[in-house]
């Protein structure tokens, strides 16, 4: 069991409200990802749930019980830190077993649990090593091991993969997703990487300056972003925005078109532009096109398409995939 | 120091200072060794010449010698215990966010800047004096008999004074070590259900191990040669009850004018210091590598 509810949670450092007013309901067993730009309050929100920071006002409920004032240990949550926060003077086995030791479990039971966790995480041959003799990925797994032995109500991850190289990051991403399927425990995962968010999450919370901009499944956020911020944040490369007269034609203050929702043609189309940088990724080519009168736009073309710097192209957005926003950046219903 | 090249380079770079240090140390040592085999008393300049181990024989069989060794060890261990335990407690306290932290820290560190003779004088005349001392005043106010600290508990008094001088040093080193403890680690242990005591035993103390080692090593070096505190307060007395090895050597050399005997005592002190050093490095120095 591990549902998490935030009710009008506010967190201020001095007079600076980092989280003005956040309400959120995370269901038992869900994998929820907090995304947002750096400094938007993701870690703060996670630490509020963990109990490492006190709320200024509002309630935090775990399994329906008010835990706002409870000490971190009382909340039965486990956290994996960005820095891993392993205990350097303890072996891997001691690190993983530490929460059990603190819970007063006897030695034989701890050993069995540690072995089991080590088996799940492929750490069996490293149990006697110290953290400093492990690679980044192995340290990360030890930190996860320390979290899973406690059988917590929920796992909290604060950018756990940001210190790893790209290949390892993809690997660990899969491992954590796999772990979630095995354990079926609630997981709250903080990242600023929207690819991580899209691939791992059941539901995503998009944060901006401490405000929850939208909370929904990855596809909901992709298809029906609630506002311009979410539209620009979810999806890679970013959505192209156009305002002014071109947007007014669609009855909006601004319109947005994703790079993958535009057709590229050499002879005719809606918007004329010149190709700037062309990024050939093999499967796709991302063209940065300088559109006359509208500015720089990113377009996805097939990988094989031979377009180069300086070529003149025509772009045609898919009319059914044009997002419209009002003056405040709120999404308008499809025309 | 990963490759052979950097090792060779390191050796070459360190050589000058090591050579200077070595010469600096070896010349006085050899001279002392030479004198320790001589009959050399300033009161009897006409009696001279090699006496081989006679000086050693007299120094080592002097009943004061064993007492001085005992006192030296009690002094070193006593001060170490007080400063390390007190230093840890002080460091934990100073690490808390309190109002006027800067001033409090400065005050705590201040005793270290007072020279030993001065602090010993202050303690002798202002704190421990049986008539005018603050301790006497306190016990009088409480209606208790006053204690003549320096005559009744001479060694304990010297230990208290020396510990007072060294406590700031220990607290300072331990405080910096404490502050270098990763905040995430503290929070992780908190989430793991460790209360304050467990956090202290399993997280903080192991983290401080290295700093404690440094404190013990450095303090031992200086505590083996405590002199000014004894000279100013008890003069090693009553009897030999607060005489340590350096003070005994001083008594030999400058009160008895026996340079030969004092040199022999000095050599004994050097040997003993080295034995202590070897033990220390064996026991606590292990914390330093890694
Ligand atoms: N202890 C604190 N005192 C004052 N301000 C703080 C404190 N902790 C965080 N903040 C502020 O709160 C805001 C949110 O910080 P937070 O660490 O939650 O950001 P984040 O979304 O996790 O960013 P990142 O992706 O860079 O980790 C920042 O503007 C930060 O300066
Ligand atoms: Mg953060």
Q: What is the pLDDT of residues B214-234, one digit of tens each?
A: 898 889 888 988 888 889 888
Inform me whether the pLDDT recorded for B212 exceeds 80. Answer: yes
pLDDT of residue A190: 94
Spatial separation of the C-alpha atoms in residues B154 and B151, rounded to whole Å: 5
Closest-CA residue, ligand 1 atom 24, reads A38
Percent of chain B with pLDDT over 90: 21
For chain A, the domain total comes to: 2
Residues with CB under 6 A from ligand 1: A 13, 18, 36, 38-44, 192
Tell me if A101 is assigned to some domain: yes
State how far residue B199 is from chain A, nearest Cα, in angstroms. 10
pLDDT of residue A73: 87
> What are the C-alpha distances in Å from A54 to residues B44, B186, B233?
81, 16, 54
pLDDT of residue B290: 53
Cβ-based neighbour number of residue A323 at 10 Å: 23
Same domain, A218 and A91: yes
Tell me whether B196 touches chain A (CB under 8 Å).
Answer: no
Tell me if A89 is assigned to some domain: yes
Same domain, A187 and A212: yes
Lowest model confidence (mean pLDDT) among A95-99, A167-171, A206-210: A167-171
Inform me whether the pLDDT recorded for A335 exceeds 60. Answer: no
Spatial separation of the C-alpha atoms in residues B283 and B276, rounded to whole Å: 10
Inform me whether the pLDDT recorded for A222 exceeds 90. Answer: yes
Lowest model confidence (mean pLDDT) among A26-40, A255-269, B59-73: B59-73
Same domain, A241 and A189: no
Spatial separation of the C-alpha atoms in residues B138 and A75, rounded to whole Å: 50
pLDDT of residue B289: 62
Is residue B287 very low, low, confident or very high in pLDDT (cuts 50, 70, 90)?
low
Tell me if A226 is assigned to some domain: yes
Percent of chain A with pLDDT over 70: 99
Of B117, B120, B118, B149, give the one whose Cα is nearest residue B133. Answer: B149
Does residue A259 contact residue A319 with C-beta atoms inside 8 Å? no
Atom of ligand 1 nearest to the CA of A14: 4
- Give the range of the structural domain holding residue A318, as residue numbers without chain letter: 237-325
Q: pLDDT by residue (tens digit) across A96-122?
A: 999 999 988 899 999 999 999 998 888
Same domain, A155 and A176: yes
Q: pLDDT by residue (tens digit) across A29-48?
A: 999 999 999 999 999 999 99
Same domain, A147 and A246: no
Same domain, A210 and A245: no
Counting one residue from chain A and one from chain B, the pairs whose CB atoms sit within 8 A come to 58
**Domain end (from A208, A230, A252):** A230
pLDDT of residue B288: 66
pLDDT of residue B217: 86
Q: pLDDT by residue (tens digit) across A109-156?
A: 999 999 999 988 888 899 999 999 998 889 988 999 999 998 899 999
**Domain end (from A198, A230, A262):** A230
Inform me whether the pLDDT recorded for B4 exceeds 80. Answer: no
- What are the φ/ψ torsions at residue B54 (nearest 5 degrees)? -60, -45
> What are the C-alpha distances in Å from A311 to residues A237, A276, A306?
21, 8, 10
Same domain, A214 and A174: yes
Q: pLDDT by residue (tens digit) across B129-184?
A: 887 888 888 888 888 887 788 788 888 989 999 999 899 999 999 999 998 888 88
Q: Is residue B75 helix, strand or coil?
A: helix
**CA of B198: which chain A residue's CA is closest?**
A102
Q: For each of the domains in chain B, give its residue range(s) and CATH number, in order of start.
A: 55-289 (1.10.3720.10)
> Sign (positive/negative) of CA torsion B212, B214, B217, B218?
negative
pLDDT of residue A157: 93
Tell me if A305 is assigned to some domain: yes
Provide the CATH number for the domain around residue A213: 3.40.50.300
């Amino acid at each position: 069991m591990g549902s998490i509810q935030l009710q009008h949670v506010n967190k201020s450092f001095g007079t600076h409200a980092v989280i003005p007013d956040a309400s959120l309901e995370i269901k038992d067993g869900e994998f929820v990802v907090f995304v947002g730009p750096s400094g938007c309050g993701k870690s703060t929100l996670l630490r509020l749930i963990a109990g490492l920071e006190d709320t200024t006002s509002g309630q935090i409920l775990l399994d329906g019980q008010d835990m706002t004032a409870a000490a971190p240990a009382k909340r039965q949550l486990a956290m994996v830190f960005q820095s891993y926060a392993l205990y350097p003077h303890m072996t891997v086995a001691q690190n993983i077993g530490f929460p059990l030791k603190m819970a007063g479990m006897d030695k034989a039971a701890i050993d069995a649990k540690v072995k089991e966790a080590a088996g799940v995480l492929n750490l069996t041959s490293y149990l006697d090593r110290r953290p400093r003799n492990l690679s980044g990925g192995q340290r990360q797994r030890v930190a996860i091991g320390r979290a899973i032995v406690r059988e917590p109500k929920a796992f909290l991850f604060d950018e756990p993969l940001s210190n790893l190289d790209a290949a390892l990051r993809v690997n660990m991403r899969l491992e954590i997703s796999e772990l979630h399927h095995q354990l079926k425990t609630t997981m709250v995962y903080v990242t600023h990487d929207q690819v991580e968010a899209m691939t791992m999450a059941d539901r995503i919370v998009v944060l901006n300056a401490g405000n929850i901009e939208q909370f929904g499944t990855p596809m909901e956020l992709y298809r029906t972003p609630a506002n311009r911020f979410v539209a620009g944040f979810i999806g890679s490369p970013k959505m192209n925005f156009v305002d002014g007269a071109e947007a007014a034609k669609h009855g909006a203050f601004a319109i947005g078109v994703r790079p993958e929702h535009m057709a590229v043609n050499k002879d005719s189309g809606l918007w004329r532009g010149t190709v700037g940088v062309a990024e050939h990724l093999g499967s796709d080519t991302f063209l940065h096109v300088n559109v006359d009168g509208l500015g720089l736009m990113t377009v996805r073309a097939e990988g094989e398409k031979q377009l180069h710097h300086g070529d003149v192209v025509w772009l045609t957005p898919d009319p059914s995939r044009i997002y419209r926003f009002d003056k405040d950046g709120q999404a308008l219903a499809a025309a | 120091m990963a490759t052979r090249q950097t090792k060779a380079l390191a050796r070459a770079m360190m050589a000058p200072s090591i050579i200077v240090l070595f010469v600096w140390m070896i010349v006085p040592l050899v001279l002392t060794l030479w004198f320790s085999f001589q009959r050399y008393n300033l009161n009897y300049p006409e009696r001279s010449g090699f006496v081989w181990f006679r000086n050693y024989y007299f120094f080592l069989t002097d009943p004061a010698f064993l007492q001085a060794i005992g006192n030296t060890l009690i002094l070193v261990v006593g001060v170490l215990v007080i400063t390390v335990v007190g230093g840890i407690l002080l460091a934990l306290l100073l690490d808390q966010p309190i109002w006027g932290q800067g001033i409090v820290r400065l005050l705590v560190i201040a005793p270290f800047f007072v020279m030993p003779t001065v602090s010993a004088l202050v303690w002798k005349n202002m704190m421990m004096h049986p008539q005018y001392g603050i301790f006497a005043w306190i016990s009088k106010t409480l209606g208790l008999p006053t204690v003549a600290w320096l005559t009744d508990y001479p060694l304990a008094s010297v230990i208290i004074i020396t510990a007072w001088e060294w406590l700031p040093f220990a607290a300072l080193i331990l405080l910096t070590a404490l502050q270098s403890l990763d905040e995430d680690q503290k929070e992780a242990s908190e989430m793991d259900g460790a209360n304050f005591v467990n956090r202290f035993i399993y997280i903080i103390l192991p983290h401080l191990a290295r700093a404690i080692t440094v404190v013990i090593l450095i303090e031992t070096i200086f505590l083996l040669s405590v002199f000014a505190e004894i000279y100013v307060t008890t003069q090693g007395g009553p009897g030999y009850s607060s005489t340590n090895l350096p003070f005994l050597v001083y008594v030999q050399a400058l009160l008895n004018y026996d340079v030969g005997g004092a040199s022999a005592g000095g050599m004994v002190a050097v040997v003993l210091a080295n034995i202590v050093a070897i033990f220390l490095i064996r026991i606590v120095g292990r914390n330093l590598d890694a």
